[in-house]
Amino acid sequence: MLAGEAIFEERSSVRTASARNPGVLFSIMKTHTLSHLAFHRTVTLPSLVFLALAMLVVPDLAQGQAFKKDPEKLDIKIRNATDYLVALQRNRSRRIPAQILANARGVIIIHQIKAGLGFGFQAGSGLATVRDPKTGAWSPPAFVSNVEGSYGLQIGGQKSDSVLLLMDDRGMELLKGGGAKLGVNLRATAGPSSAGGEFKADTIKEPILVYSEAGGLYAGAAIEGGGIGPADKANAVYYGASMRQILFEGQGHWSAAGKELIEKIIEYSRTVPNPPPAPAAVPPPAQ
């Protein structure tokens, strides 16, 4: 077998194996990169970046593949989103003010991974819920996904969890399948936190507010254009319905994990804390 044929066969095997199991791709990428570094005394920046991005991105993609097939693991995905919301609200410097959340038309909680070496790639998955404009009731959380490309001067990798609040009809277009994209025809702005002092929620005119605590390294200015779309397989496995049916047509059933997430959204939307319990009646003194 010629050397070129061997390389072609190896690459074909890699593509086949990685399509079945993204974790295989991570193992191959890591092994090849470590071998490259071991046999070359001069370590190049691209080699280091390649290894770092492989270790950052591929395990998350492999985990996402597993989530799509198992309702119990999708329950875990919902609980992870709930845990992130709780952690965010416990952070006094970053938490969402109750009066902002109380005015939101929709909520998206999404976990994203971003990697770039000149050209950037971002993928994410999460949950979305919307409020019925007539009753004020929240829908069961539907599974969503996000994929986008970017270009510009960029290098590095980043994982982030974010809460997106859809504040008006413009923001709701992100979930209605009309091709709306963040940074293109929809503007997303960092939302005010509870630590920012007093403000009036009705003075905020932005269609989408973002609350996020990002980790990792991502240096550079990039032009991005990404939308939020349905995670069809996850919704079919968990609900037997589409994202639109779950969010806008009342066809999603309620799971324990879904109820817990919505209960937290309602709890953090209260602009007036629950009143303390009334003191117990004290019997009159004996005569």
| Mean local confidence (pLDDT), 224-240 | 85
pLDDT band at 39 (very low <50, low <70, confident <90, very high): very low
Sorted by where each begins, the domain ranges of the chain are 67-269
Instruction: Let me know: does 81 contact 162? Beta carbons within 8 Å.
Output: no
| Percent of the chain predicted with pLDDT > 90 | 34
| Mean local confidence (pLDDT), 66-95 | 87
Greatest CA separation found in the chain?
Answer: 109
Query: Does the pLDDT value for residue 193 go beyond 70?
Result: yes
Please give the helix or strand (H or E) that residue 154 lies within, else none. strand 142-166
Average per-residue pLDDT in the chain? 71
Kindly give, in sequence order, each residue whose CB lies less than 8 Å from that of residue 266, ignoring residues fewer than 6 positions away.
Answer: 138
Question: Is the backbone of residue 114 left (phi > 0), alpha (psi -120 to 50) or beta?
Answer: beta
Please give the helix or strand (H or E) that residue 251 lies within, else none. none
Query: Does the pLDDT value for residue 10 go beyond 60?
Result: no
| Mean local confidence (pLDDT), 177-201 | 65
Query: Does the pLDDT value for residue 279 go beyond 80?
Result: no
Higher pLDDT, 236 or 32: 236
pLDDT band at 121 (very low <50, low <70, confident <90, very high): low
pLDDT band at 225 (very low <50, low <70, confident <90, very high): low
